[in-house]
Structure 1
Amino acid sequence: MKYVPPPLQALIWAGIAWLLVGAFPGQRLELAFGPALVGVLLILGVALDVVALSAFFKRKTSINPINLAGTEQLVTDGPYRYSRNPMYLGMLCYLLALTYWLDNPLAAIAPLGFIMVMNRTQIAREEALLAEKFGAAYQRYCEQVRRWI
C-alpha cells in the first residue's frame, strides 16, 4: 500500500464527505448549535496542532510523519500528556467541523474513516518505531496516555 501523509489523508476524507453530500443532498443533521460547534471544533483543532507542533520544536525532534527515523526524543509533555496523537486529533477536529458544516449525516464518514485508516496505517507504524526506539519508556507512556483521547 502506498503511503499517504496524515494531512493528505484528512483532505482525502474531507473530499469523500463532500462528494457524498453532493450525491445525497437531502439528508440533514439539523443541529441546534451547528455553526457554533463548527467554530469551536476549528479553534480546538488549530490549538491542538499549534501546541503539539510547538512541543516537537521545543524538543528539537522531527515532525515528519514520512521519515520516522528522524525521531530523536519521546515527547510526553504539553498535549501529549492527554493524547498520544494530538496532531491527528486536531485533524479529526477539522473533519468533525466539516461534518457539522455540511449538515449531512453522510459527512460523518470523514472522521470515522480517518480514525480507522490512521489507526491501521500511520499510528501503527509510529507505535512500532517508538516502541523499538524508546522501549520501556514508551510502553509506560502508552499505559498512561490514550491513543486519541
Structure 2
Amino acid sequence: MQKLLPPFLYLITLISMALLCWSLDVNHLIVYPYNLVGLPFLIAGLLLAAGAKKLFVHLGTNVMTFSEPGKLITHGAFKFSRNPMYLGFAVSLLGAALLFGAGIVSLVCWLGFIVITDRWYIRFEERAMRQKFGSEYAQYCCQVRRWI
C-alpha cells in the first residue's frame, strides 16, 4: 500500500466508481438533470487539491506522501484543513458520485477512499510531522482540524 500514492488511489477510486456504476444495474438516486449538482463539487475539489499542491511547489517543500516532510505549511488552505489535498480529492469524488447518480456503489467507493486516506495516508503523514516538527505541529493540530 505504501507504494500507492494518493493521486493514484484517487484515480483508481474514480475509475472504479464510473465502471461499476455503468456496468452494474445500479439504482440511481439522483437522475439527470439533478445529478449535475455534482459538477461544482467535482471542479471545486480538484481546484482545492491543485491549489494546495501548487503552494507546496511554490514553497519548495516535499509533496510526496512517503518522504520526509520539508516544511510545516499553516497558511492558505492549510489554515482551514490540515489536509486540503485529500479534502479536495474527497470533495471531487463526492461530486463524481453525484454525477453518477449517487448510487450505493459510488457512495461506497467514496467512503472507501475517505477511510483509506484517513487511516493510512494521513496517519502516516501525521506521525512524520510530529517527529519532525514536534510541539509546533502539535499546536497546529490543536488549531486546525484534520479534514474540515
- TM-score if structure 1 supplies the norm length? 0.87
Aligned with 1:136: secondary structure? helix
Residue matched to 1:118:
117
CA contact (8 A) 1:55 1:77 kept: no
Aligned AA (1:61): T
CA distance in 2, matches of 1:74, 1:113: 28
Aligned length: 146
CA distance in 2, matches of 1:119, 1:2: 14
Q: CA deviation at 1:18?
A: 2.9
CA distance in 1, matches of 2:19, 2:80: 34
CA distance in 1, matches of 2:58, 2:16: 35
Please say which of residues 10-19 and 82-91 is displaced more in the overlay.
10-19
CA contact (8 A) 1:81 1:145 kept: yes
**Structural RMSD (CA):** 1.8
Residue matched to 1:98:
96
Taking structure 1 as reference, are residues 144 and 33 closer, same or farther at Cα in structure 2, changes over 3 Å only?
A: farther
Aligned with 1:80: secondary structure? helix
CA distance in 2, matches of 1:131, 1:142: 10
CA contact (8 A) 2:42 2:93 kept: no
Aligned with 2:74: secondary structure? coil
Aligned with 2:88: secondary structure? helix
Residue matched to 2:42:
42
- Is 1:79 aligned with 2:80? no
Q: Deviations over 1:90-129 (max 9, x none)?
A: 1112211211111123210122001100111111110000
CA distance in 2, matches of 1:39, 1:22: 18
CA distance in 1, matches of 2:26, 2:87: 29
CA distance in 2, matches of 1:122, 1:26: 30
Aligned AA (1:105): I
CA distance in 2, matches of 1:114, 1:82: 21
CA contact (8 A) 1:82 1:145 kept: yes
CA contact (8 A) 1:99 1:105 kept: no
**Which consecutive residues of structure 2, in runs of 5 or more, have no partner in the other structure?**
none
What is the percent sequence identity of the aligned residues?
33
Aligned AA (1:40): P
CA distance in 2, matches of 1:136, 1:18: 43
**Which consecutive residues of structure 1, in runs of 5 or more, have no partner in the other structure?**
none
Q: CA deviation at 1:2?
A: 4.6
Residue matched to 1:14:
14
